[in-house]
Structure 1
């Protein structure tokens, strides 16, 4: 990479499409626009690409909405995995013969930009004391390799900006993009014949930058690298942040070259030996180590040419060896896919925990409202609803104690007496219905409120449920529930009257009863529905029991014993079904906050993990 007296001119316009239209802001990573290069020819490669595309699509759809321990890290892992599939794995799988992408990365102030300038022999990227210096990543490639990078083959979420070279000299402190440039979502492409064909250099932002965006971008670029040129210094080589990324590179089996920059001559042997020991200890013993001694820069801010010659030769040799480049690409690709398999497995476990947590919260809500439905059911069959207003209105309807004696003495005389009663007194029957509606509504409202409070307490005792509820108070009942309950009760009563009307159609001898006593018979049937007296004590048993007998004897006189039993059961079943529907609608205020279930996403991701591991073994 001989030195050249060139300077880089920057165009603010991004690389445009064939019709000259301006670029659009990049969409989110999992929806990034992608060029469609030719698919691999052989069937195994086609199957591999289909698997990877399916993994990318399903990973991008993963939602981890519940606030479980470690979920923030899992969400980051999902985003990073999707980005790496789009930025590196799929592009490299589709084109193993593409130039290698060597990302130059490292700590703040390590001298990455100065090193890149030295490798090409002239200032192309800005270096200096201002931090962060590199905001926009700069990709240097041989002019013949331009087609590999101008499209969206790699790093598809970054728009392209084309930089051009000129013969006007410019110092490194003024080269490249301005230090206050904010467009870190773009990739600057520079075609330079000083870069050997078959390899590209990418000057990345600092991995420990004070800018969150810069750090994220640096991580994204390193994840897209075929090989990593890690730049550190004699007094920074043991920093934790870059070592974390080095270990990540080791897990991917990526080729790493470590550049130990600004090394005082007297400390070179000691520092180099210590760094080699650290690399060996962390499984990076195969990493190439290049030392750049501490030296003065020239007037353009350039290192002496011979200071980076060993690294230049190494990169040139890699570029010249097509088979070697392919081997490096395959090695990194295999390692990356293998690491992805482990990440997908971890995501599958995180999704499984989300599914379990959601199921537990769902069970809490459904259990509370199921218990409420059971309590309402008990209240409708233990005689409790025959107290108070309902009992008083029914007694007004059927008359005094003499009425009961007449009933016991002569059921035939009762028919005549009740017939006259129904014809002349329809209003008391309606009063019975209203009293039943009011009493039943009170029971339903009370139990629904208990279920809401119970569910709210259970969810707030769980971190995930507490986060879903936030500051919202869902205890009690939702607005409009009282009206919905009243409407449902009235609908039940109307259905009950329709049952009586339908049952009486074939009974000609009872035509006049049905004509004049539908509401009365309906009130009697409602009383029978609530006639079990298990919940009553003392005098109430006798009163409620007599009350139920009146209704039952009356209905049996009209319809027969079997028909009354069937009508009562049908009415009771209808009431309970309506109550369950009411409570099911009420519990939606909790369940609607849960993520949708039934996708079996954890099993799908676990299968992907196994398939990716097998793919890495045979690639």
Structure 2
């Protein structure tokens, strides 16, 4: 039979001028896959320089996808969700799974597209996973038994010629490797077996419902790194909740799944029908289902292995996957596409979680700012309403200023005041420090009381917020800091120094007052402090008259020295500096809270960069898929390579030409299983999942 080449009977005959087009003749136009490839090369040339991933991937579309995924991996790696905001526990799990998907499966798979198909065998405790794997291989490659739930080390069985794919870090790079039988921890035990077809690897994972958390987490991680899930359950446990949580997540991300119903007793085959119903209800209606009968009577285990007939259907299906490169590629591509799409969706959800972290940070900071700002307003009110001009401050001021000579001078006019000032400075400057001390003590009490209330209110707000409560454990933040009292005392002394500096500066700018200042800077400073606290709002009865008189005396004294405008300006400046000093103290107290947030870095968290990276991945994935080429017939070729034990005892259906339709075409539809499955419309034939996918791609 003559080989007509890739164009078949429609290939053009060579021209008379030879095999190449002659002068003036156009070369034949490229069609189909050739045109798509040429367009891809043209786009690659238009993009200019390519990334380093181009050297590791077979085409520009895959390289662009890997570049986008690398960027996303970096941003996910930098993301942390430390605050206990609503939904954060689910988001943290999603983040860990997204990183695991990238590190353990997606990036290694894209960079090693020719690596063997990795089938992860998972399931519940006691489902018979290890016995099933050994029975398919015809040897004891993995150890079953009651101690299996405590064995954390998964076992990966591969063909000897595929060893280099798994001994390095291109597949499951996060797990250490060992070839010994006493592996512990998270090491991946590698077992070479010539019974396995080249191009196929089986990984016996820990139990998904193990009593040990580390086992459960490792099992979920390995299943997420699989090209194909082979999920094993039993007739007694097929409806358990924990396995179905994993299966539903697999369906949501369109992972390729095959189910094995193990240990089915004679007469209970209807369980397969119920399991098929559950699969359809949870998005796994197209997954293959294999039924393995319970070994008993003449079909008991031999050397720990199930009879060949019991695993024949599954062995035939897996051997077909291992021996047919096209089948392997389609399964890998379908799973990979599902992971990419799920990753984009998951990243969008994580971006929203990052925004929630930022908003939660802002809410906690607002509580700190609000209560300490209220404390500042409280101090400002107490230093403006005359409240400080009572008690000890008022007594010391009266001792200092007296009520005789100064009051008479004030009543007689400014000239008399100016004369009295000189005599006053020379005669009684020693009393000024007593007034300063009284003012300092009163001001300290006001600031300490306001700070204490701010601390109590902030603590109450944070304690009532789950995110804030998680930051308070082990910290003494319900009260002010132990060193606050000396800090406030220092701030008050510094403010009093500011006031004296203002008086000194103002006095130095006026001729005629220098001599008076040389005798009474402290007295003028005390007078200015009294003017700052001069308002009589909040005082009643006799105190109003006393405080009012006190303020008038202080103001007249200053006006006699500096003039009206200067006194108003000095009072405003002194008030501003007091506010600044108190604000600095209160901000320091608030910083005890905000420092907890600063250490977490949640203020800078935003989801926009994650959304940008997710959009880039989605765009690159669409570009990569548009460059794919498909075969002409949709039928797989006869498989090559080795066969698993029992393969061939079950004969798969073929096309009219005798070509197998492909592994899994009628998986799980043995007579017993088929009897439990409701009849379908005969006009709607069931295609194997890779043919359906290919048809969908062709239609697209």
Give the TM-score taking structure 1 as reference length: 0.86
Deviation at 1:442, TM superposition (A): 0.5
Shift of 1:472: 4.7
Q: Within 5 A, what are the aligned runs for 1:147-546?
A: 147-163=164-180, 177=181, 183-268=184-269, 270-295=270-295, 296-470=299-473, 472-546=475-549
In structure 1, distance between residues paired with 2:340 and 2:111: 14
Cα deviation, residue 579, structure 1: 0.9
Deviation at 1:318, TM superposition (A): 1.5
Output the CA distance in 2 between the equivalents of 1:527 and 1:192: 95
Instruction: Work out whether 1:109 is the aligned partner of 2:87.
Output: no
Structure 1's 129 and 536: CA in aligned 2 closer, same or farther, altered over 3 A? closer
In 2, are the aligned partners of 1:157 and 1:185 still within 8 Å (CA)?
no
Q: Distance in 1 between matches of 2:54 and 2:131?
A: 35
Deviation of the 1:95 alpha carbon? 2.4
Aligned residue in 2 for 1:52: 69
SS in 2 for 1:152: coil
The reply on whether 1:62 has 2:79 as its aligned counterpart is yes
Q: Deviations over 1:509-540 (max 9, x none)?
A: 21111211111111111111111222222332
Alpha-carbon distance in structure 2 between the residues aligned to 1:118 and 1:574: 86
**Secondary structure, counterpart of 2:388 in structure 1:** helix
Shifted more, 356-365 versus 83-92: the winner is: 356-365
Contact 2:409/2:420 (8 A) holds in 1? no
1:453-483: per-residue Cα shift (whole Å, max 9, x none)?
Answer: 1222222333333333236553332111111
**1:266-291 deviation digits (Å, cap 9, x = unpaired):** 433x2333322322232212212222
Q: Give the conservation status (yes or no) of the 8 Å contact 2:54–2:60.
A: no
C-alpha displacement of 1:419: 2.1
Residues 406 and 420, structure 2, Cα contact 8 Å, conserved in 1: no
Q: Tell whether the 8 Å contact from 2:260 to 2:292 is kept in structure 1 after alignment.
A: yes
Deviations 1:290-331 (A, max 9, x none): 222222455521222343232222222222322332222221
Structure 2 residue 595 is the aligned partner of structure 1 residue 598:
no
Deviations 1:482-520 (A, max 9, x none): 111110111111122112222222323211112111111
Structure 1 counterpart of 2:141: 124
Distance 2:357 2:540 in 1: 50
Who wins on radius of gyration, i.e. which is larger?
A: 2
CA contact under 8 A between 2:172 and 2:225: conserved in structure 1?
yes
What is the CA–CA distance in structure 1 between the aligned matches of 2:151 and 2:318, rounded to whole Å?
22
Q: Deviations over 1:424-456 (max 9, x none)?
A: 433211111111111110000011111111222
Aligned counterparts of 1:599 and 1:40: Cα–Cα separation in 2: 35
- Partner Cα separation in structure 2 for residue 419 and residue 573 of structure 1: 29
Task: Measure how far apart 1:243 and its partner are.
Answer: 2.0
Is residue 101 of structure 2 the alignment partner of residue 88 of structure 1?
A: no
SS at structure 1 position matched to 2:260: strand
Question: Take 1:548 and 1:512, find their aligned partners in 2: how far apart are those partners?
Answer: 24
Change over 3 Å in CA distance of 1:69–1:37 after alignment to 2: same
Of 272-281 and 609-618, deviating more is 609-618
Give the Cα separation in 2 of the matches to 1:288 and 1:548: 94
Contact map agreement 1:126 1:134 (CA 8 A) in 2: no
The SS at the match of 1:557 is helix
**Deviation, structure 1 residue 145:** 1.9
Three-state SS of the structure 2 residue aligned to 1:598 is helix
1:258 match: secondary structure: strand
Residues 437 and 148 of structure 1: is their aligned pair in 2 closer, same or farther, counting only changes over 3 Å?
A: same
Q: Is the 8 A contact 1:38 1:94 kept in 2?
A: no
| Matched position secondary structure for 2:512 | helix
**Aligned-partner Cα distance in 2 for 1:443–1:293:** 84
> Does the residue aligned with 1:475 lie in a helix, a strand or coil?
coil
Q: 1:590 to 1:373 in 2, by over 3 A?
A: same
Query: After superposition, what is the alpha-carbon deviation per residue over 1:205-257, rounded to whole angstroms, capped at 9, x for unaligned?
Result: 11111222111111110010010111122222222222222222212212212
> In the aligned structure 1, how far is the partner of 2:479 from the partner of 2:142?
64
Aligned counterparts of 1:455 and 1:130: Cα–Cα separation in 2: 53
- Which whole-Å CA distance do the structure 1 matches of 2:317 and 2:622 have between them? 29
Give CA-to-partner distance per residue, 1:317-352, whole Å, 9 cap, x none. Answer: 222322332222221111112222232233333333
Q: What is the CA distance between 1:131 and its match in structure 2?
A: 4.3
> Match of 1:384, SS?
coil
Q: 1:550 to 1:332 in 2, by over 3 A?
A: same
* Aligned residues of 2:358 and 2:603 also touching (Cα < 8 A): no
What SS class does the counterpart of residue 242 from structure 1 fall into?
Answer: helix
Is 345-354 or 609-618 further displaced after alignment? 609-618
User: How far apart, CA to CA, are the structure 1 residues paired with 2:152 and 2:494?
Assistant: 68
* Aligned-residue offset at 1:555: 1.7
Deviations 1:175-230, CA, capped at 9 Å, x for gaps: xx46xx6x131001122222222221101111111222111111110010010111
SS in 2 for 1:427: helix
Q: What is the CA deviation profile of residues 79-134 of structure 1, one whole-angstrom value per residue up to 9, with x for unaligned ones?
A: 22212221112212222222211101111111111111122221111123444275
Query: Structure 1 unaligned runs (5+)?
Result: 1-35, 164-176
Change (3 A) 1:535 1:46: farther
* Structure 2 residue aligned with 1:33: none
Contact 1:98 1:148 in 2 (8 A): yes
SS of the residue 1:359 aligns to: helix
Helix, strand or coil for the counterpart of 2:497? Answer: helix
The structure-2 alpha-carbon separation of the partners of 1:518 and 1:45, relative to structure 1 and needing over 3 Å to count, comes to farther
- When structure 1 is superposed on structure 2, of 483-492 and 551-560 the one drifting more is 551-560
Report the counterpart of residue 26 of structure 1 in structure 2.
none
**Does the Cα contact within 8 Å between 1:448 and 1:583 map onto a contact in 2?**
yes
Alpha-carbon distance in 1 for matches of 2:167, 2:609: 35
1:571 aligned onto 2:574: yes
1:558 counterpart = 2:561: yes
Instruction: Rate the CA distance shift 1:297–1:158 in 2: closer, same or farther, 3 A.
Output: farther
TM-score under structure 2 length normalisation: 0.77
8 Å CA contact 2:358–2:604 kept in 1: the answer is no
Q: Which has the higher contact order (CA 8 A, sep 6+)?
A: 2
